[in-house]
Amino acid sequence: MDPITNLVVRDYERFRLQTAQYNHGGLYTDGENFYALIGDAADTRESPDSLIDTYNHYRTVTVPPAIIISELNESLEKIPTRGQLEIINHKGESFLYDEVTNYLNRYVPKKYQPFHFDYSFATQEFELITRTPLSLEDKEEIELTLSSIGFDGYKYIFSHNETIPDYPGKTTLQPNRKDNLILSASSFIKKQFTKPMLELYEEDEEFWLENRHSVFTGDNNLKREDYLPESFLGSETRCFIDASVFPRDNLRIYLSLYEIVIIALPFNMEPEQFYTMLRIEAFEFKELIKRKRLLFVIPQNLSRYSQRLLLEIINTRPESVIFSRRLTAASLEKIQEKSQLLGKTFSSDEQYQFLHLCYKSKNRWLEIIANSLAKQWEVGPQLIERDGAVSVYYMGASTLAVNTLKEREKDFTLELSSAAISLEYSLGLGAHHLPFDQPEYSEIKACEIISNFYNGFNAKKNFFCVNQR
C-alpha cells in the first residue's frame, strides 16, 4: 500500500479501538475516497456528526478522512488492516522530527551514518543522502531496513554529499521536556560517554533490534533467562529498590535480608552523594559490587545519570549493569506470563474483536477492561519503542487499576502509574519489590493494588484505598 493509505489505516484503527462498541465492518476505498463501514451507525445514540468528530480526534493532520457509512456499496474495495508484525514495525505511524531522526539512526546500519533524510506523504518519496556513494547492495539493504520499520510503500531516492558532517555525538537535556525520555540512538552519544559504557549501551541497543518481535508477541517461548545476562540470574534471594526519584537509605538493612540488592540508579547523582544516601563508603561500595552483592539497572535515557557513578560501577564489574532494553524485555515477558493478555501485541482485527465482545457482554467490568486495553493498544508499542523501560507500565496493569478506581470516582493516575513502574521492573528481575515508604508519602498501598491485579484479590479486604497505609 502507498504511504497515504497506510496512514489512513492507522488512523482508522485508532478510531476503531476507541469505538469498539459499534459493529465496524472495515475500511474501504473507491480509488479516490476512503470509507469506514459501521453497520449500526444509524442506530447509535451518537449522531453521525459526533462519530465524525471522534474520528477526526484520532486522525493525523493532513491525512485524508474516512467517510462513515452504514451500508456497503459493492463497488468499494476493502483495505486490509495491520497484522501483528506490521503494528510492531510501526507501519503507518506518524512521527515528530526528533522521534523519527532517533528511530532511523537506531535501525539504519551505522556504516551508512551520518546521513540526511526527507520523506513526504504527498510525493510518496523517501530520500536518503549519505556521505559516500552507495552500491546496489547497499541500497537494497537500506530499502529492506526501511520497509521493516514501517517506511514501506515509498519510492526510495538515494544520493550522496561528501560535506555531510559527523553527528555532534552529544545530547543535552533541557529541564521539563517530554523528549528527555527518548532513548538516544548510540550514534548521537558516542562522544559523550566512555568506550566501555558505550559498548554496553550499544549491546543493549543491538539486543532490542534482534528481539523486539519476540518481546511484543511473546510467541517464541522466550523467558526472563533469555533476556537477562547470567549475572542477573540465579537462585540467590534478591530485592529491587528504585532510587530513581525517591531517596533510599541504609543499604545495610537490605543486605542483611537479601543476598543480592538490585538498584535503579538515581538521576544526576554523583558518587559521593550516592554513597552518603546509602550510608556506605566508596571502598565498601566497590567491594560489594565485586562480591556480586549489588546489581544495577539504567531504565531511562543514559544522559540522565551521572557518568562518574556509572564508570565506578562499570569499571568495577561491567556485568553488574543492564540498560533499558533488556529491562523492558524481561518486564514485559513477566507481565505477559502473569496476565496472558497484558503486554502483548495482537493484530488490529484481533484487538477489535476482543474489545467488541467485551462491550457486547454488557458487563461493566469487562467494559472497563476494554477501555483500558484500547488505550494500551493504541500507543503502547510506540511508547516502548521510543522510551524503553520507563513506558512499560503503559502496557501493564496500571491503566486497568486507574480505570477501576475512576469507576469508584477516585483518580490516582499518578500514584498507581508511578508504583507500577518499579513493581513491574521487579517482576522482570525476579526480585522482591521494596516500595518507597516514608511518613510523608508511601507507595505501599498503590503497589498492593497493582500486585493484586496480577495475583488476584481477597474479597474480604478493601484494596482500593490508595491513601491507606
Q: What is the pLDDT of residues 133-189, one digit of tens each?
A: 999 999 999 999 999 999 999 999 999 999 999 999 998 877 667 678 899 999 999
What cell numbers appear for 21 in the block? 462498541
Q: What is the distance, to the nearest Å, from the Cα of residue 286 to the centroid of all Cα atoms in its chain? A: 33
CA-to-CA separations, 380 to 164, 177, 251, 322, in angstroms, rounded: 35, 20, 35, 22
Helix (H, G, I), strand (E, B) or coil at 241: strand
Q: What is the CATH number of the domain that holds 148?
A: 3.30.300
Q: Could you report the per-residue pLDDT of 26-79, keeping only the tens digit for each?
A: 999 999 999 999 987 655 555 567 888 889 998 988 889 999 998 888 899 999
Quick one: 413 and 337 in the same domain? yes
Q: Decide the pairing of beta strands 441-442 and 437-438.
A: antiparallel
The confidence score (pLDDT) of residue 48 equals 60
Quick one: 336 and 422 in the same domain? yes
The confidence score (pLDDT) of residue 122 equals 84
Contacts of residue 282, defined as CB under 8 A and 6 or more positions apart, other chains included, come to 271, 275, 312
- What string of DSSP letters covers 108-121? S-GGG-SEEEEEET
Quick one: 96 and 73 in the same domain? no
The confidence score (pLDDT) of residue 469 equals 45
Domain boundary among 38, 57, 81: 81
Q: Which residue has the cell 508484525?
A: 85
Quick one: 30 and 129 in the same domain? no
Residue 184 in any domain: the answer is: no
Contact 465, 445 (CB under 8 A): yes
Residue 244 in any domain: the answer is: no
Residue 368 in any domain: the answer is: yes
List the domain range (segments joined by +) for residue 345: 327-455
CA-based Rg of the chain, rounded to a whole angstrom?
A: 24
Contact 314, 286 (CB under 8 A): no
Residue 216 in any domain: the answer is: no
Residue 294 in any domain: the answer is: no
Domain boundary among 160, 183, 215: 160
Helix (H, G, I), strand (E, B) or coil at 4: helix
Q: What is the pLDDT along the chain (469 residues), one digit of tens a residue?
A: 899 999 999 999 999 999 999 999 999 999 999 999 998 765 555 556 788 888 999 898 888 999 999 888 889 999 999 999 999 999 999 888 889 999 999 999 999 999 999 999 889 999 999 999 999 999 999 999 999 999 999 999 999 999 999 999 998 877 667 678 899 999 999 999 999 999 999 999 999 999 999 999 987 677 888 899 999 999 999 999 999 988 888 899 999 999 999 999 999 999 999 999 999 999 999 999 999 999 999 999 999 999 999 999 999 999 999 999 999 999 999 999 998 899 999 999 999 999 999 999 999 999 999 999 999 999 999 999 999 999 999 999 999 999 999 888 888 999 999 999 999 999 999 999 999 998 889 999 999 999 998 987 555 555 555 544 4
Quick one: 373 and 450 in the same domain? yes
Residue 419 in any domain: the answer is: yes
Residue 300 in any domain: the answer is: no
Quick one: 73 and 101 in the same domain? no
Quick one: 42 and 119 in the same domain? no
Quick one: 339 and 410 in the same domain? yes
Quick one: 61 and 115 in the same domain? no
308's enclosing H/E stretch is: helix 307-316
Q: Which residue has the cell 514501506?
A: 152
Measure the CA–CA gap between 307 and 200, rounded to whole angstroms.
13
Domain boundary among 30, 54, 81: 81
The confidence score (pLDDT) of residue 431 equals 96
**CA-based max dimension of the chain:** 77
Quick one: 46 and 133 in the same domain? no
Residue 242 in any domain: the answer is: no
Quick one: 62 and 93 in the same domain? no
- Number of structural domains, the chain? 3
Measure the CA–CA gap between 346 and 219, rounded to whole angstroms.
11
Quick one: 39 and 149 in the same domain? no
Q: Decide the pairing of beta strands 155-160 and 125-130.
A: parallel
